[in-house]
A = this chain, B = another copy of it.
Amino acid sequence: MHPTQNLPSSELSKLLDSYRKFVETELYPIDLKVVQGPFRSYLPQLNELREKAKNLGLFAPHLDKESGGLGLSLSDFARVSEILGTSPLGHYVCNCQAPDIGNMELLELFGSDWQKETFLHPLQKGKIRSCFAMTEPANAGSNPVILSTTATREGDSYVINGHKWFTTAADGATFTIVMAVTNPEAESPYQRASMILVPLDNPGFSLIRNIPIMGEEGEDYLSHAEVKFENCRVSSDHLIGKEGQGFALAQERLGPGRIHHCMRWIGICERVFDMMCHRAVSRELLPGKPLAEKQSVQNWIAESRAEINASRLMVLNVASRMQELGSKAVKEEISTIKFYVADVLMKVIDRAIQVHGALGVTDDTLLSFWYRHERGARIYDGPDEVHKASLAKSILKKYRPQ
């Protein structure tokens, strides 16, 4: 989907400046308020911002030009993504937010013409939203092959039954893609599940609740739903790709997805780092004695700088290699950045809170929002431990005595 050609560096640099200016002037002044919600009440304002982004040529940077996007390479998009990530509204306003961006990538690559027409195109234009139903409360998300949700073929339909949660942004979405077992008898557990499109007005679908997470239910785009499929029937043209391809497609979806997350996290790190530095020079312990003079604060700033720089270099390096060599070739590196950057993110946020003192635990800054909502970063898309084990096993395979 992404072209493999990067922008000339001066052009990219100009584009990044435009994004930086946009987030700083349009989003920073309002993002704290918006994330405190209620989110729906801000939709009109957010839609206006989307129009502005379109007019400025900043909308949908990940899409090719024919689809109304900027046609950026994965590497260039990664750079944009970092800047958008500095505001919790950045990706949303530019219509490249998870989980929609993953669904767009998936449908672009594997959707039928009908699926593209009906689901992908309105999504690309930001007219509708979507979600992705994979994780199940009854099964460990870290072992994705264990799924209880089934989609049984009955004539020309699939009948779906199952219980999912962490279906991000289901509230207000138009459709979901659901991962369900269609071929329980397949030999490999990786070939039993399929991805199926389900419009959310289907009577067999119900949204049980927006799960209260870290103190907030949220709503609309800013929510994570628990949902049920009860004899939920869709015609067979809602299948994406072929039966049994669920995991193969999920891998395709998750590869760039993890780069997107990592670059977004780096954006958060940079904003948080900036807040930490501002606080350090402005908060005084005694008149003329700012926190900045404390060596502990200096240590945190230095360590954070090092770790953020390391994160960016690693993620951009993977992005450029994935762009050149494909997802599979960089499997190890993807695991590496997933756990490394998530860890850096949480450490940087934690240090910034400590520098902010009492203010840091209030909702008067974005620190609390990120401290709470990004704790999941070390869990979703594979917990730290799974990625570490998977990386190590892959490395050790080369050492195994013959």
Contact = CB atoms under 8 A, between A and B. Distances in A.
A142 B284 CA distance: 10
A299 interface: yes
Contacts of A215: 214-216, 363, 368-369, 372
A212 B362 contact: yes
Secondary structure at the A interface, as helix, strand, loop or mixed, is helix
Contact of A295 (B165, B294, B333, B371): B294
A353 interface: yes
Interface of A: 36, 135, 137, 140-143, 146, 165-166, 211-216, 277-278, 280-286, 291-292, 294-299, 301-303, 305-307, 309-311, 313-314, 317, 332-333, 335-337, 339-340, 353-354, 357-364, 368-369, 371-372, 375-376, 378-380, 383-385, 387-389, 391-393, 395-396, 398-401
Nearest to A291: B140
Nearest to A216: B215
21 contacts: A135-B358, A140-B291, A142-B285, A146-B286, A213-B361, A213-B363, A214-B372, A277-B399, A278-B399, A280-B399, A281-B401, A294-B385, A296-B296, A299-B385, A305-B332, A306-B336, A310-B310, A313-B313, A354-B383, A360-B379, A371-B375
A398 B278 CA distance: 10
A183 B317 CA distance: 49
Contact of A297 (B292, B392, B398): B392
B363 A214 contact: yes
Contacts of A214: 214-215, 361-363, 368, 371-372
Contacts of A363: 211-215
B395 A362 contact: no
Contacts of A375: 353, 361, 371
A395 B294 contact: no
B292 A295 contact: no
Rank and list the top 8 A-B pairs by shortest CB-CB distance, nearest first: A215-B215, A298-B392, A310-B310, A302-B388, A295-B295, A212-B363, A313-B313, A301-B392
A22 to B, nearest CB: 22
